[in-house]
Amino acid sequence: MSVFDYDLFVIGGGSGGVRAARIAASEGGAHVGLAEEYRLGGTCVIRGCVPKKLMVFASEFPQMVRDARAYGWDIAPPVANWDAFQTNLKAELDRLEAAYRATLKGVDVQVYPQRARLVDAHRVALDDGQIITAAHILVATGGRPFVPDIEGAELGVTSNEVFHLSAVPKRVLVVGGGFIASEFASIFNGLGAVVTLAYRGDAILRGFDREATAHVASAMQARGVTVLTGCDVTKLQKTATGVQALFATDVGLEADLVLFATGRVPNSQDLGLEALGVGLGAGGEVLVDGFSQTSIPSIFAVGDVTDRVSLTPVAIREGHAFADTIFLGKSRQMDYENIPSAIFTQPEMGTVGLTEEQAIKRGDIAIYSTQFRPMRSMFAGQDEKVLFKLVVCATSDKVLGCHIVGPQAGEMIQLVAIAVKMGATKAQFDSTVAVHPTMSEELVTLRKPTRILPKSQ
């Protein structure tokens, strides 16, 4: 009989924590407890990727209606019912949370709806005063939005609050230049707001392929988003008609809504980690090894709280690998190479593997890139182009990266990622028969490189 209350106790009911708990209990036979102070599902399900993607869908319908007219459909100008959308959104999130709860109940994971803090290597204290012991403790508390320390910051909102707006604002200022900022700028633009995106860097979507992100930025501006780079917001102040944002250049801009999308930080505060001597990085991230183990052998961490690769599917894989290793006897580490991702801007971007900037530092490369107007939107009279780009090793012919900007780029990149993960060569891409007429056939018809670049020093 175990001397502990649980074989595993998980702090955090998001995607990574729930996956670890489920696998440990259902496949590893572990007795598992889990504490979640807010709602099961975590950031992704409750106030992240899922509600955001539904808002993306909602914001795309006006353009669909405009396109439909070009195809001969007699459709009246669309009128959005925001209350109806919010009602349906809440119902969907409730459904997903209930599904998470049912999943954990089905494998006998005991859920504690309250905050938990570490007492020592094997004890956890709940807010109600209860002390729980566990052989292994997994910290999976995710991250939270970062808000810059400026005067009047409380007048803005973050991605936590943006899903609960009572109405679509007419004027929106998005502060930031990452994928969350760019996505919400596109969403509100699609919903009919006048949108300005202010970013202190020289180009949005830093860290992604520069040619692809420049294409996204140009298309966003053509759709009506004002993109201000080199622009640092230094102060917010209330006015009679909205919120005034002041920039470092002393220029001001008034908006009905200011959204801070200035990055996220690990949710590691007030968990008792520092007192126990668990190693933390400069940004508060929990430091772990390849098996997600901290400096204390019985304490592990997965997901955004470790700030390795902050993506929901990565957190899920990390949680699964942890459970396999500890409770199923399958020693396994997460593989971080060639992780695909999608940025749900309008137009959408999908990416996997190395950017041109990363690849050229490793060796000589060949770039295959094309831009064109796709059949569907060209017929509707749209000028917007899509971009397809392959980054190829000039010596081995291996495809090192793929970057797509256009409709359904996220769906396409998931399939391309399989080939890139398998180490496919450009010759193998070329030997694949095209599906015609599609946008994606360009992936296998790019015969000549647009440029060949030597390794940079």
Contact yes or no for 393/423 (Cβ under 8 A): no
Q: Which two tokens stand for residue 121?
A: 């290597």
State how far the alpha carbon of 338 is from the alpha carbons of 257, 308, 331, 386, 392, in Å.
Answer: 37, 14, 21, 23, 14
Report the alpha-carbon distance of residue 347 to residue 376 in Å, rounded: 14
Which amino acids are annotated catalytic? 436
Strand duo 116-120 + 123-126: pairing: antiparallel
| Three-state SS sequence of 18-58 | HHHHHHHHHCCCCCEEEECCCCCCHHHHHHCHHHHHHHHHH
Contact yes or no for 420/338 (Cβ under 8 A): yes
